[in-house]
Amino acid sequence: MSDPVRLAHRVAELLGCSRADAEQYIRNGWVSVDGQVVEAPQHRVTDERVELDPDATLEAVEPATILLHKPSGWDAISGAKPASGLVTPENRWADDPSGIRPLQRHFHRLTPLVSMDAEASGLMVLTQDGRVWRRLTEDGDEIEHEYIVEVDGELAPYGMHKLGQGLSYNGRVLPACKVSWQNETRLRFAIKGVQGGQLREMCRQVGLRVVSIRRLRIGKISLGKGPDGAMPPGAWRYLPAGERF
């Protein structure tokens, strides 16, 4: 048995490449040890079979942005039951159209963005990408969100007009938004700058009680649909390269 060496050292020997290139191949998920992908250049090997994927390239791997369908009852940003715990390889949506290869590094240092009530469900964003972070925080109030809100009760006179403009929340007059009936019990909101609890309070002010809230879209990005329908609660997909909020 040979002495243990770093995987990067072995790859550099096998390929006749530099140590830096060997480490890049490994971190990008192109190297397997006895058939299992290993992404740690410092991993020690002896006589194991080390192979490079035939499709391997040295292109830099972009930071990941995850689109999660948060189920009701999970905490979006902070809390005892963080929705980030659902972002595991096993929960990736089978119909994810992104074509992105999952890497172990995609599941580290994900920052949850765009607050959401624990009782609500729907689209949630977690990212490693500073560009996405800046877009959804610095420009967040300018990005339109779409919600489906199931309600019961009797709508007050001029209630739809009031929902669209003229209500206040937390001491400030709310900007105008677009509201319409999807069916007899569900309202569709297209709205910017939503605060925690705002949709429930808006509905309360016009005589309606909220039964459930689901976020369908943030800016140009929606939950996503596949051959078997929408991405189900608890599943996630990657934000494809080139798509923007």
Query: Model confidence over 25-70: pLDDT tens digits?
Result: 988 888 999 988 898 889 999 989 999 999 888 888 889 999 999 9
115 and 231 belong to one structural domain: yes
Average pLDDT of the residues in 204-223:
97
Predicted confidence (pLDDT) per residue in 67-94, tens digit: 999 999 999 998 899 999 999 999 999 9
Assess whether 125 and 173 both reside in one domain.
no
- Asked if residue 243 belongs to a domain, the reply is no
- Specify whether 69 is located in the same domain as 176: no
Q: Domain holding 132: CATH number?
A: 3.30.70.580
pLDDT tops 70 at residue 1: no
Verify that 122 and 160 share a domain, yes or no: no
What pLDDT score was predicted for residue 241? 86
* CATH code (residue 19): 3.10.290.10
Q: Which residue reads 């905490």 in tokens?
A: 75
Residue 208 structure tokens: 């309606």
Domain-embedded: residue 121? yes
Q: State pLDDT tens for residues 180-193.
A: 999 999 999 999 99
Say whether pLDDT at 237 is over 90: yes
Identify whether 58 is part of a domain. Answer: no
78 and 131 within one domain = yes
Residue 2 has pLDDT above 90, yes or no: no
Residue 15, domain member (yes or no): yes
Greatest CA separation found in the chain? 83
200 and 161 in a single domain? The answer is yes
**pTM of this structure:** 0.86
**pLDDT tens per residue across span 129-151:** 999 999 999 999 999 999 999 99
Q: Do 156 and 35 share a structural domain?
A: no
DSSP reduced 3-state for 205: helix
Q: Which domain holds residue 157?
A: 144-218
Q: Kindly report the CATH number assigned to the domain that includes residue 176.
A: 3.30.70.1560
pLDDT tens profile 193-212: 999 899 999 999 999 999 99
Residue 37: inside a domain: yes
Same structural domain, 192 and 224: no
Q: Domain check: are 172 and 160 in the same one? A: yes
Q: Report d(CA 145, CA 19) in Å as an integer.
A: 46
Domain count along the chain: 3
The answer on 180 and 198 residing in a single domain is: yes
Using an 8 Å Cβ cutoff, are 201 and 193 in contact? no
User: Would you give the DSSP letter of residue 75?
Assistant: B
pLDDT at 130: 94
Q: Quick one: DSSP state of residue 82?
A: B
Q: Is the same domain home to 128 and 227?
A: yes
